[in-house]
Amino acid sequence: MILLNRWRRLTASLALLWMLHPVTGAEHPNESLEFLYIDANTGGSSGGHTAVKLDDTVYHFQNDEGYTRLARENWQRFRLVYNDVDNRNIHGAKIALLSEDLQRIRDRLGLRFMAQNRQVDYLTALQRDVSFLSALESHAPVQIVGIGFFDRRAHQTSDFKDIDDAIEIDHGPGFIRSERLRLQRRLETLAYVPPAKPARLEPDRYPIYDPTFSEQLEDSYAHWFALTAIDQGWPLRDGLLIEAGPLDPTDTATHSSHPNRGWLTRYRDQLREAIIRTLVSPYPGSGSPLLLSLARYQAISLSLSTGKFLVLDVLPNQSERGRGELSEADKVPLRRLISQLQKTVHGLLAEGFRQPEPDESVYHRLEVAASELKESQAGLSQERAIQLGQSDGPPKGIGYAVIPNHAMSTPQLPRARAVAAQKAQQFLEQMQTAYQYQLITHNCVTELVRAVNSSFEQGNETRALGGHLDPGAEQSFVPFRFFELVRQRYRVTGTETLPSQRNRRLTQLNHEESDWKVWAREGNTLTSTIYRPRLGDSAFLMFTEHAFWTRPLLGTLNFGYALATTSAGLLTAPTDQASLLKEGLFGMLFSIPELGLWNIRKGTFNDMSPD
């Protein structure tokens, strides 16, 4: 009842706030964005977390190796991680604003995300310079994306013959061989030149960087490899193709008029055009996409000749990566996934390729769904755990090669490596300076406020959002305090809470059984049917999320339980890599706030809720 009254008062206050924050002029806000506050829990973001949701896209700042990094995620994925797996309630406050103001925020966050991603890519490339130079020193192979698609056996396929012919006709006989020679010479003679120190990092401007030493070598090698694959007719590696189904799903016989066949033929034509253009006019970074196009080109040619819809496996060699056994409990969602994936594959084969214009994203969806289906079925039959998260992106074709580079002498290589390491370190420090992470002044909340405010000229955010917040002021560096200020200051039109996975399941049980029975069984970790203790959750006995006045008492029980676990952990430390000891120590740590009426720990899940 008290809560209900508070809720009514809050709603009335919100209505009043709305009236007090009129938008100037005749325009009325017709769009909305949502500030999110994610409850605390053990693990990452134990102080709670903050994000902003624009339609289906969520932006939030994270601490990544000492600097704040802007992350952009699909809402479904964000909710899966924070609401289902991490078991945190997500609270949202919707703010009404004009569509042009929403677009300003979207553009600012989008540009900032791209600019920082490019800077992070550059840092990675500088770090790869070091590993490439080390590899050259020891004549060791380096990883190159795309070369793993092909088997270096000559004259095994004639699928590239039309590409070869088209290039020879347009650019003269011998073009491919002369290009191969040119690239070979470049690979042999490219010396490391230290890059100039980049200018000050600007968060809102897309940076321009010259290709690094490793990027130039990788790109040249990929182009050389592609030309050689065409010239010598290299086939795809064995086991790389998956049969998604018949090319004509209604009849296994090949029909030259079936939409799938027509679509694939047009897509292959598009790929051929892109391959030829990239070979003739390469641009920095085009090597790996070129090899992917060649691999898909061959997969489509085989599909058309065999009448089977063959796609590249985006999850190759998964069985070689030991991931432990599949538990009985995990078989249930896995069977559910297999059934859903089968429907997806069949649906795509039946309906997905009806559009007249080929679309890479549709083709890629089939690659992903067919690969995930194959991997899920293998996991179930072999009773091994599977990992599907890596299927996020086109097939990679990772391969290794020794680069035949002789540009630097034996004494020059270690010197070049030292300089490269220094350059990478310098740039990392630049990143840490530009995007410094500090607990109070530069964290996930303060940076979000700064980014949103920077979308507007001075003072205009007050007009756009209905109010103004200074980053970190009034203790707003704490996520829940920030959310409270959002509700007080901005033009909030509604609030909503998405209960965590455990809370959703508790609500369901409360409909089926009496409250006290559910509390007695589900309130502790020993008899709970919803929750199973997981490594990283810390050792605890009683859930304290819903208790308030009894929280110190339950916290004392948790502290005692964690203390006992710690003692046991001391004994088992030599045999279990101190994991029980860590659980016990963290259990004690997260019990301390409970003694002071505060709850952080809620338990986490590793499976999906039934709903």
Q: Taking CB under 8 A as the criterion, which residues in 81-140 touch another protein?
A: 81-82, 84-86, 89, 91, 106-107, 110-111, 114-115, 117-118, 121
Among 362, 563, 573, 578, binds another protein (CB under 8 A): 362
How many CA atoms within 13 Å lie on the side-chain side of 585? 8
Beta carbon of residue 321, minimum distance to another protein (angstroms, whole number) = 12
- Do the Cβ atoms of 573 and 56 come closer than 8 Å? no
DSSP-derived 3-state class of residue 66: coil
**Does the protein bind another protein through residue 443 (CB under 8 A)?**
yes
Instruction: Choose one: 61-69, 170-178, 554-562, 571-579; the region binding another protein (CB under 8 A).
Output: 61-69
Is the four-CA dihedral 199, 202, 204, 206 of positive or negative sign? positive
Instruction: Give, rounded to a whole angstrom, the gap between the first and last alpha carbons of the chain.
Output: 29
Contact 389, 136 (CB under 8 A): no
Selected binder of another protein within 8, 153, 197, 323 (CB under 8 A): 323
| Buried/exposed code over 200-228 (b: 16+ C-beta within 10 A; e: otherwise) | ebebeeeeebeebbbbbbbbbbbbbbbbb
Separation between Cα atoms, residue 405 and residue 419, nearest integer Å: 18
Q: What is the distance between the alpha carbons of residues 586 and 559, in angstroms, rounded to a whole number?
A: 10
Core vs surface per residue 380-419: b (16+ CB within 10 A) or e: beeebebebeebeebbbbebebebebeebeeeebeebbeb
Which is nearer to another protein, 133 or 373 (by Cβ)? 373
Stretch that binds another protein, among 167-175, 360-368, 417-425, 511-519 (CB under 8 A): 360-368
Using CB under 8 A, pick the residue from 21, 52, 68, 297 that binds another protein.
Answer: 68
Nearer to another protein by C-beta: 232 or 364? 364
Q: With binding defined as CB under 8 A, does residue 543 bind another protein?
A: no
φ and ψ at 401, to 5 degrees? -150, 150
Kindly indicate which of the ranges 148-156, 158-166, 227-235, 472-480 contains the residues binding another protein, using the contact rule CB under 8 A.
Answer: 472-480
CB of 140 to another protein, least distance (A): 27
Part in contact with another protein (CB under 8 A); list of ranges 40-48, 170-178, 238-246, 466-474: 40-48
Quick one: 99 exposed, middle or buried, by C-beta within 10 A (0-12, 13-18, 19+)?
exposed
Q: Tell me, by CB under 8 A, how many residues bind another protein.
A: 117
Tokens matching residue 546? 């819903």
Footprint of another protein on 224-253 (CB under 8 A): none
Restricting to residues 371-390, name those near another protein by CB under 8 A: 372, 379, 385-389
Residue 436 Cβ, how far from another protein at the closest point, in Å? 13
Residues in 503-522 that interact with another protein by CB under 8 A: 503
Write the burial class of residue 340 (CB in 10 Å: 0-12 exposed, 13-18 middle, 19+ buried). Answer: middle
Q: Are 226 and 138 in contact (CB under 8 A)?
A: no
Is 488 a binding residue for another protein by CB under 8 A? The answer is: no
Piece of 22-30, 169-177, 278-286, 562-570 that binds another protein (CB under 8 A) = 278-286
Binding segment for another protein (CB under 8 A), chosen from 235-243, 558-566, 574-582, 587-595, is: 587-595
For residue 508, the surrounding DSSP H or E stretch is helix 501-512
User: Alpha-carbon distance 258 to 224, whole Å?
Assistant: 37
64 touches another protein by CB under 8 A: yes
Among 13, 355, 382, 436, binds another protein (CB under 8 A): 355
Please select the residue that binds another protein; options are 66, 141, 174, 333, rule is CB under 8 A. 333
506: helix, coil or strand? Answer: helix
Of 17, 40, 167, 310, the one binding another protein by CB under 8 A: 40
Interacting residue with another protein among 29, 48, 467, 555 (CB under 8 A): 48
CB atoms within 10 A of CB 354: 11
Judged by CB under 8 A, the residue of 319, 436, 497, 550 near another protein is: 497
Nearest approach in angstroms of CB 145 to another protein is: 11
Tokens of 15: 């209505």
The residue range among 72-80, 133-141, 250-258, 518-526 that interacts with another protein, by the rule CB under 8 A, is 72-80
